[in-house]
Amino acid sequence: MRLKDVKKLFIECFPDCSPTLERARDLREIRAVIMTRQILMAPRPAAGSKAPAQVPTGSFDFRLVSCGIDKISPIKLVRQVTNLGLKESKDLVDRCTAGPQTVMFSTDRARAEELARQFIGLGCTVEIAGSVVAA
């Protein structure tokens, strides 16, 4: 796509920004205009009221970062959660010594936190969507 086509597309999507978008010389400037618009148009709490707590939503990856000394219990839990066979579960738990291994892709936050509690109870370190939950 050429810059002219990208400008046209964004002007159709954001007509209130069309004068600024038409003056943009490259993609970086177009991105800056769109990001500024989104920040300015974001809903704000009324004066004097507290902002609502931001609760992360969407899909999260659940990763096993490391296991404790006991690897049998995490292997059993991986088998139970993922329906993998014994060998696949053992390989996944063994590979977590080399780096984080994704146990479950695109799960909701509540399910990921429940899995984290179970694995932490076994002495494992886990990640949810890239943030370390327990050490």
Q: How far apart are CA 79 and CA 85, in angstroms?
A: 6
35 is in which domain, residue-wise? 3-41
Indicate if 64 and 127 belong to the same structural domain.
yes
36 and 64, same domain (yes or no):
no
Q: Is residue 55 part of a domain?
A: no
Same domain (yes/no): 37, 84: no
* Overall number of domains in the chain: 2
Q: What pLDDT band is residue 14 in, cutting at 50, 70 and 90?
A: confident
Say if residue 121 is in the same domain as residue 66: yes
Give dist(CA 58, CA 15) in Å, integer. 29
Task: State the residue for tokens 């970086």.
Answer: 28
In angstroms, the CA 41 to CA 11 distance is 16
Collect all residues with Cβ–Cβ distance below 8 Å to 109 and sequence separation of at least 6.
55, 56, 57, 58, 60, 128
Tell me the per-residue pLDDT of 48-81, one tens digit each, with 9 for 90 and over: 656 555 545 567 888 888 887 889 999 999 999 9
Indicate if 87 and 127 belong to the same structural domain.
Answer: yes
Tell me: do 64 and 128 sit in the same domain: yes
Average pLDDT, integer, range 103-129: 85
DSSP line for 67-110: --S--HHHHHHHHHHH---HHHHHHHHHHTTTS-EEEEEEE-HH
